[in-house]
Structure formats: structure tokens, C-alpha cells
Structure 1
């Protein structure tokens, strides 16, 4: 995995900008319509799992299609096992280059293909789940949760920003740092954010914003699900484990008990992707055994 373009001169990891940021919205060139869009995702990727969780929570399985890529990625990018039934592509890179022949960045998931326009609309992972929650509201299943309620959006956005910089992207800044200073700064931020979340949940609230599940819970969960299995050792986030945070660990298991979270959490895909693909920090490609953690414990 070549991250030279995303490594600053001081050793800090600087995530590449999302290349495709068109919106799916009424009145635009990509209006929300059942059957028009296909999400490309990996069970291994925390950014992609968000979209898979939200799609299931909102009951959009028959409205928006999904193609799951292989967890092992090489210089050609993510492989589509058996070829993509929608486009025929064997690698996700084909869709990126079909949309922008000059594209030179990493080929990332999740991304959304417009079958009608025959191009990628977006790989803007923060916006993809918000779009499912808002633009596709007319097709939400009866009784589906309101993950982005208008009355809480300002609070949700603020917490999401904190969680992104300190935790979601923070673990990557620690894992991909190439200087001690950059690593120390990042790992300190990771555990400060975990401490903030632990304190927030210690008052007995079931979810981050109280009694109702929201977008913030989805974004936080996908990092927590990978923490002890990958980030603790592989990304050198070793100060404490998730299971050492009582409130956070109970919260993570509470989310895992919900089918949309559990059914999209594949620890085999997660571990094989990180340890086999990221040879810059694990050159042997050996996938470690463990940790032995019971996510179904009450």
C-alpha cells in the first residue's frame, strides 16, 4: 500500500480528498430513484460499513443495490469477485477511470455508481450515509429509525467532527505516521476521544445522543468494531483496548446485537484486509490469531 502521496514531510498521514462529490438530490442530475444506484463496499472498510449499516437500518435493500468487493487489494485496487453484475467491471478502478480517465489517487470504498448516467456519482463517504437518510426518506421502511433528525443535526454534526478527527481518522494517523512526533500526537488524540466517549456513555444513556440511535452511533461503531482486532496492535493504538472501557464496550456490544450492525461486521474480512494489504506496516502479511473476545456477551 503506497501512501507517499498522503504522508506529509513531518511524517503525518494526510488523507486524500474525496474525488467525486456530486449529490443525489431532487432537481439535480442525479435524482433519488429506486433501482438507479449501486453502492460498492467492503466489509473490511469502516467507511464502507457505515453505508451498509444505514442501508439495512432504513430498509433500503430493494431500493439501492450493493456490490461487495474482495477484502484483499493490490495495485489494481479492490477486486470484484466474479465480476460486477451491474457494470461487468473486474476491479473498482475501472469505474473510477471510466468516470475520470486521469484519476491517480487511491480507489476507495464506499462509492456510488449511477446506472443511468453510467458514472460514479460520489465516493464522499460522510455524505453517502446522510444521503441515504435524507434524499431516500420516501423509501425508508415503515418504522425505520430517523438517524439524522432535524432537531439534533447540529449536535450530531459537532460530535461526528470530533469523532472523525480524534478516532475514525485518528487511528489511521497513528498507524500510518512515519515520525515519532506525528504518532505521539495522533495516538494521544485517539485515547482522548475514547475517554470523551466513555464519559459521555457513563451516565447510562444507551446511545451517544440519548435514547435514539443516530448517525453518530453508526460512525463510532465501525471504528470500535475494529479496535481490538486491528487498531490496538497493527496501528500501535496500544494504550488501552476497547474492552478496557466498560461503558464503551457495553455500548459496542449493544450496537452489535442489532442485526444491521452484526450482519455487516465480518472480522475475517477485517483482519485479512488490514494485515495482508498494508504491507508497509506488516511486510510479512501474517494475520495474527485473536483476540478472543465475545461480542455476544450480555
Structure 2
């Protein structure tokens, strides 16, 4: 287990904390690395299993798109709602079922796929783990098609590995470097990553899924304090969080803010403000949305279906519609004034 609190949550007294109503994120168990003798960096060798509603998966799909790895790293997409109580294997499992109908659209979602990575046509992500004797069931999964093994299932590490080996893996020639070699920039990224993970990425879940009022209020306050901090940071005219260059800090912030106005504001009880109410953060969000295939790396339909489709009645809200529909609004930085 890593001690990096920008990657995973402290597991101290996890049973007691969960018992009193705190949402505590678990730890990913597969932590191998591309670029080792066991898992050499080769184009066409690796595969991703993801769900487009999941913000941790969104990190990975962003890296794949931004680095130009779409042709060399194949990918399967799970349905955004997990299995129900009527599933023969059990509830709350990610499944690769492209014919499943979404309540939001009344039709299957075209991005969803069967399992093409393992060669076994597995239906459930859980079955991929079971082949390695693990009881985990989370996404994303970085998978080695040659050895038939899971390489890694921690999104932060997958992003870092794809960036470090993008050239050898078959990335585009004009790709950015997400984690620059400059040590001072790395230190700035590390500080941002820590605050963003604790208060924004994981903080949204702590607010939305904790059942204790005091824990919710603490997470709510920290979330909006960080939004204000980031808005102030961007107010000096910089294009991205560390300056003029898109980095890993921007990539890790984007999935949560992409979801905030249309989903988290209501679903995670984070109704203190919209991102649209923060002038500089909104413009940053629009800028990132327009950057290097970012828009194609996610799906608002999957997000809305995934979060609201698993609520108590499964009904997906149709809004917000003002000032315009999302994600179309992200093409309009001028909306924030």
C-alpha cells in the first residue's frame, strides 16, 4: 500500500469510520508497472477496461486520448449502472453488456462493449479479477493481453505509466508531457494533486456517500474552499493550474469538475455553487474541454445514467437546461461573467 495521500485514502480504523457513516475509499490491489521486464512497453499489448461514468476511469481515458494512444491501447466500456439484485451472480457489479437499455435514452448506449480484452468474453469485471484469485471488482483495469494478467487498477498510477511510456506504446508525435521532468514543476503538481484528491476527487464522494451530517459538512466545506483556492490561482491569467502548460494536475481535476454542475451539484449534495459561478475555473474547464481530444474521452450521458440511475428510484433528471445543456455549455467560456 502506498503512503501517497494524493493517490489513496488513509485506511486507519476503516471499520470504525465506516460504521459511523463515513465514506472511506478502499485501496487498489494490483500495482504492477509498464516498463518492467514483466510488463514491457509495447504497442498493441495493453487493454483498458473502463466505465465512462466513473471519474477514476475518466482519468485513464483522458490520458489515452490526450497522449494519442487510442490506436495502440484497446478499450472496453462497461454499462454505467452496475448489476441489480436480480443478477444471478449478485448486485453492484460492473458488466460488459452492450445490449442493456439505459433508462435515460430508452436504448442501448453505443459506447458500451463486450469484453474483447481477455479473449474469454467475460461478462463481469469481477470475473477478470477472479482469474487471478482476487475478490476485487473495481474499474479501471489495465490489462496485459499477452500474459492475460492485470497490470494495475489504480488510476493515478496508470496515468503516470501511460505518460512515461507513451512513445514506446505508440503515442502521437505531438503529444504533451503530462508529468514534466522539471523537479520544481513536479513539486507543484504533487501539492496540487494532494489537495485536489483529498478535497475534490475523493471529497465529492465523501460528501455524497457519507451518512453522517458532520462528516458531510466537513467534506462540503473543504470542497468549496478548494474551488475558491483554485479560482484564485487561475485569476492571474494562467491557462492551466501550473502555468501555461497542461499537466497531470489539470487531468486529475477535470473529471470531477466536468461532473459538478449537471450531476454532483444534486447527486453529491454539493449545492454550494456551480462551477459556472467561478469565472476563472469555468474558463479553465472550457479550455481543458477543448484541449487535445478531451471531449471524446468522456460521456455526459453515461455520467447522468450512472449516478442517477443507481439512486433509489432510478429516475434521471433532465436538467440543467440553463444557461444551456451540458456538456454543450463547456464550449462557451463567455457564460461565466
Structure 2 length normalisation: TM-score?
0.81
Match of 1:173 among 206, 209, 223: 206
Deviation readout 1:132-182 (Å, 9 max, x if unpaired): 000333333112111110112222122111100010000000001111111
Alpha-carbon distance, 1:5 to partner:
7.0
- Determine which of 192, 198, 205 is the counterpart of 1:159: 192
User: Which deviates more from structure 2 when the two are superposed, residues 136-145 or residues 204-213?
Assistant: 136-145
Q: CA deviation at 1:6?
A: 9.9
Residue number in structure 1 paired with 2:332: 297
2:31 matches 1:9? no
CA change 1:5–1:37 in 2 (3 A) is: farther
Q: How many residues align?
A: 287
**RMSD of aligned Cα (Å):** 1.7
- Counterpart mapping for 1:147-296 below 5 A: 147-151=178-182, 152-277=185-310, 282-292=311-321, 293=324, 294-296=329-331
Indicate conservation of the 8 Å contact 1:76/1:91, yes or no. no
- Unmatched tracts of structure 2, length 5 or more: 1-13, 84-90, 99-113
SS of the residue 1:73 aligns to: coil
Q: Distance in 2 between matches of 1:52 and 1:67?
A: 11
**Alignment match of 2:32 (pick from 3, 14, 22):** 22
Q: Is the 8 A contact 2:267 2:308 kept in 1?
A: yes
Aligned mate of 2:156, from 126, 131, 146:
126
Contact 2:72 2:171 in 1 (8 A): no
What is the alpha-carbon distance in structure 2 between the residues aligned to residue 291 and residue 100 of structure 1? 44
| CA contact 2:21–2:211 (8 Å) conserved in 1 | yes
Does structure 1 retain, via aligned residues, the 8 Å contact 2:23–2:205?
A: yes
SS at match of 1:39: strand
SS of equivalent to 2:19: coil
Deviation at 1:76, TM superposition (A): 5.5
Name the structure 2 match of 1:140.
171
1:40-51 map, 5 Å: 40-51=49-60
Relative to structure 1, the CA distance from residue 6 to residue 86 in structure 2 (aligned partners, 3 Å threshold; closer, same or farther) is farther
Question: For residues 6 and 160 of structure 1, do their structure 2 counterparts lie closer, same or farther at Cα, with a shift above 3 Å needed?
Answer: farther
**C-alpha separation in 2, matches of 1:238 and 1:23:** 39
Q: CA deviation at 1:26?
A: 3.1
Would the aligned equivalents of 1:42 and 1:109 in 2 still touch at CA under 8 Å? yes
Q: Is the 8 A contact 1:79 1:92 kept in 2?
A: yes
* Structure-1 residue corresponding to 2:106: none
Mapped partners of 1:5, 1:99: distance in 2: 26
